[in-house]
Amino acid sequence: MAAVGAPLHGPANMASYPSHAGQGGGSCDDFESDQSAAFDLSDYILLDEGVAPASFGQPETAVPPTVDVGQTSETNLAASGSGGGGTRRGGVERPRTAEGSRIAFRTRSEVEILDDGFKWRKYGKKSVKNSPNPRNYYRCSTEGCSVKKRVERDKEDPSYVITTYEGTHNHMSPSLVYYTTQDSASGRFYVAGCELPPGSS
């Protein structure tokens, strides 16, 4: 079964993964107000075996290995090309390291650009066969960070945006640094709270 998370709003428990514009302010109230911007995180799907993204805030033991995304009725993400060839990706399939962990989110949003606090640089746009909507390719613009994400609208419900993250940030989100903590043992980042610590403003 696919690791489809329960419907979520404003991923306060997802340190560096999708949220929405306006998060720069960084507070619970912001998440509430985000909803007015037509953002609703509906599903999250782990596409790849391996550790959860460091900033995802979950021990990797809690992460189901190798998820069959194709089982997700509305989110045939990796299966978008599985009709004839499974995940036939272009030549650049990279080794599955921690950098190669992938996770997809399905969010309801009017805008495709979900500001997760990181700075992304668009490097490509491609129309995909099984979807009338083009797929956009972004790369984390932080130097030394090779995290990528693909953004496309749900072919079945264009009101949903499917965002696929690939890789793990090796740095903190500029907008989340205020309320996350780093585990000294693993070096991973966890959400410490939803409010800015005193004196951080």
Partner DNA sequence: CGTGTTTGACCTGCGC
Partner DNA sequence: GCGCAGGTCAAACACG
Where on the chain is the footprint of DNA (CB under 7 A)? 80-81, 84-86, 88-93, 119-130, 135-137, 141, 148, 150
Q: How far is the CB of 87 from DNA (least distance, A)?
A: 7
Please report, for residues 4, 5, 76, 149, the alpha-carbon distance to residue 71 in angstroms, rounded to integers and kept in the order given.
Answer: 10, 13, 7, 22
Q: Which is nearer to DNA, 34 or 166 (CB)?
A: 166
Distance CA 38, CA 141 (A): 26
For DNA, the closer CB: 169 or 188: 169
Q: Give the shortest CB-14-to-DNA separation in angstroms.
A: 22
- Kindly tell me which of 9 and 122 has the beta carbon lying closer to DNA: 122
Contact between 170 and 140 under an 8 Å Cβ cutoff? The reply is: no
Cβ-based nearer residue to DNA, 9 or 96: 96
What's the rounded Cα separation, in Å, for the pair 117 and 22?
Answer: 9
User: For DNA, which is the closer residue by CB, 12 or 140?
Assistant: 140
Give min distance, CB of 77 to DNA, in A.
10
State the minimum distance, in angstroms, from the CB of residue 89 to DNA. 4
Whichever of 85 and 198 has its CB closer to DNA, that residue is 85
CB of 136 to DNA, least distance (A): 7
Question: In whole angstroms, how close is the CB of 139 to DNA at the nearest point?
Answer: 7
